Amino acid sequence: MISSDSMRGYNDAIILAVLARGDSYGFEISKAITAGTNDAYTLRETTLYSTLTRLVKSGALNAYAGELSYGRPRTYYHLTGIGRTILAAKKQEWHQVQGVVTHFLEE
Amino acid sequence: MESLQVYLDGLFKDVPPSSAVRQAKADLLAAMEDHYHDALARGLSASEALGEVIGSVGSIDEVLAALDVHPKTSEATQAPEALTTEDVQTYWQATLHYAAGLGLGVALCIASVALAVLFDGNPDSDALSAISFLLAVAGGVASIIFATTHRRRIARGLRQYAVTSSINRFAARRLEAYQRPRMIGLVAGITCCICSIIPAIIIADNLGAVLLLFMVAIGVFYMIYVQAINNGYKRLAEARPGQLFH
């Protein structure tokens, strides 16, 4: 299990990457992350929600009321143009970070 | 899922309501319910599923930070108001009543036995013996309950105030000044208890036992009275400055 400290800074990018595949809602995003990392990384519900809230505020995502879930409307999230730009920048940054860390840790 | 709703309400209890907070709660509840049903579908029992969901919630502080919402606890983090000398005088006055009530209550309980013995042995006064015993015990218990609840009520009202170093010094001076009366009270009480054996030796019949119990009751009253008052001063003299009164 990867600690949340190690992943801090990349939660935004991971969520944006999940939403780049299509609109989704809170628990589905969380499940996609857990499944995509073979259970190595799980986002806590409050971390996921606070990250989604920040991304909506920054314009990277749009939130809208979707289908009913157990009697309540689910909030769905849609990746915006700004979100795609941020995701692209994050990908580029990740390649640089990966190169630097690999250089020192895999010598 | 009522348990999740109650849990979430508990997490948000200090958060001022707003549309953003209501939306956050609704979204978190939806995610928690989805998680709960997913856990049930994976074969977990209801309690295991609930445990897994609650264990994965995390801290609402990060949600509040994202929403730019500040919980009401910001008021609580302000420095508490300080205890005034009037407050502590009120508390000591209540302690004085408590000391008298507690001492009297215990003394009455001891004296009840003396009253029962006093009226015992005479067939005409058996009922008087039982009634006086019961009345004294009831009076004693009522006195203890009244004394305790009255002081507790006063003390509870002061719990929100902090002890200051000047209150500390004030209490320490009162405590020091009370050591002489306390010692006199303790010596008088102990002497009364020790001397209670004398009438029991001199007077062979029931009256000797009655006087013994009355003297013990008086001795115990003195000891409890001075010690309870002393503890009232000590409580504030030994409290750390800055901490809330308790």
Q: Write out the residues of chain B at the interface with chain A, using a CB-CB cutoff of 8 A.
A: 1, 23-24, 26-35, 37-38, 56-60, 62-63, 65-67
At B14-46, the pLDDT tens digits run 888 888 888 888 888 888 888 889 999 999 988
Q: ipTM for the complex?
A: 0.84
Tokens 């008052």 -> residue:
B229
Q: How far apart are CA B74 and CA B78, in angstroms?
A: 7
- Quick one: average pLDDT of B191-217? 84
Measured CA to CA, the distance from residue B226 to residue B220 in angstroms comes to 10
Residue A25 to residues A28, A85, B183, Cα–Cα distance (Å): 5, 21, 74
B24 with A69: Cβ contact below 8 A: no
User: Residue B70 — very low, low, confident or very high, per pLDDT cuts 50/70/90?
Assistant: confident
Q: Is the pLDDT of residue A76 over 90?
A: yes
CB A90 within 8 A of CB A66: no
State residue B76's pLDDT score: 46
Core vs surface per residue B84-107: b (16+ CB within 10 A) or e: eeebbeebbebbeebbbbbbbbbb
List the domain boundaries for chain A.
4-105
Structure-derived torsion over alpha carbons of residues B173, B177, B182, B188, reported in degrees to the nearest 10: 180
The shortest C-alpha distance from A29 to chain B (Å) reads 10
Q: Is A65 on the interface with B (CB under 8 A)?
A: no
What percentage of chain B reaches a pLDDT higher than 70? 93
Can you say whether the dihedral through the CA atoms of A47, A50, A54, A55 is positive or negative?
positive
SS3 A76: strand
**Residue linked to tokens 């953003």:** B20
CA B25 from centroid of its chain's CA atoms: 37
- What's the rounded Cα separation, in Å, for the pair A56 and A39? 26
Residues of chain A contacting residue B33, judged by C-beta atoms under 8 Å apart = 69-70, 72
CATH for the stretch A4-105: 1.10.10.10
Q: Does A58 touch chain B (CB under 8 A)?
A: no
- pLDDT per residue over A20-42, tens digit each? 999 999 999 999 999 988 888 88
Residue A68 has pLDDT above 90, yes or no: no
Contacts of A46 in chain B (CB under 8 A): 28, 57-60, 62-63
Q: What per-residue confidence (pLDDT) applies to B124? A: 67
Chain center to CA of B52 = 38
Q: For residues B195 and B197, what is the distance between their CA atoms, to the nearest angstrom?
A: 5
Predicted local distance difference test score (pLDDT) of residue B79: 60
Q: Phi and psi (nearest 5°) for B7?
A: -60, -45
Question: Would you tell me the crossing angle of helices A26-36 and A11-19 to the nearest 10 degrees?
Answer: 110
Could you say which of B29, B37, B62 has the minimum Cβ distance to residue A50? Answer: B62
Rg (CA), chain B: 30
SS3 A64: strand
Per-residue confidence (pLDDT) for residue B17, from 0 to 100: 82
8 Å CB contact between B50 and A35: no
Torsional class of B82: left (φ above 0), alpha (ψ -120 to 50), beta (otherwise): beta
Q: Which residues of A touch B32 (CB under 8 A)?
A: 45
Closest CB to B31: pick one of A26, A50, A51. A26
Interchain contact A44–B (C-beta under 8 A):
yes
* Chain A residues with beta carbon closer than 8 angstroms to that of B27: 26, 49, 75
DSSP one-letter code for B14: T
Does A48 lie at the interface with B, CB-CB under 8 angstroms?
yes
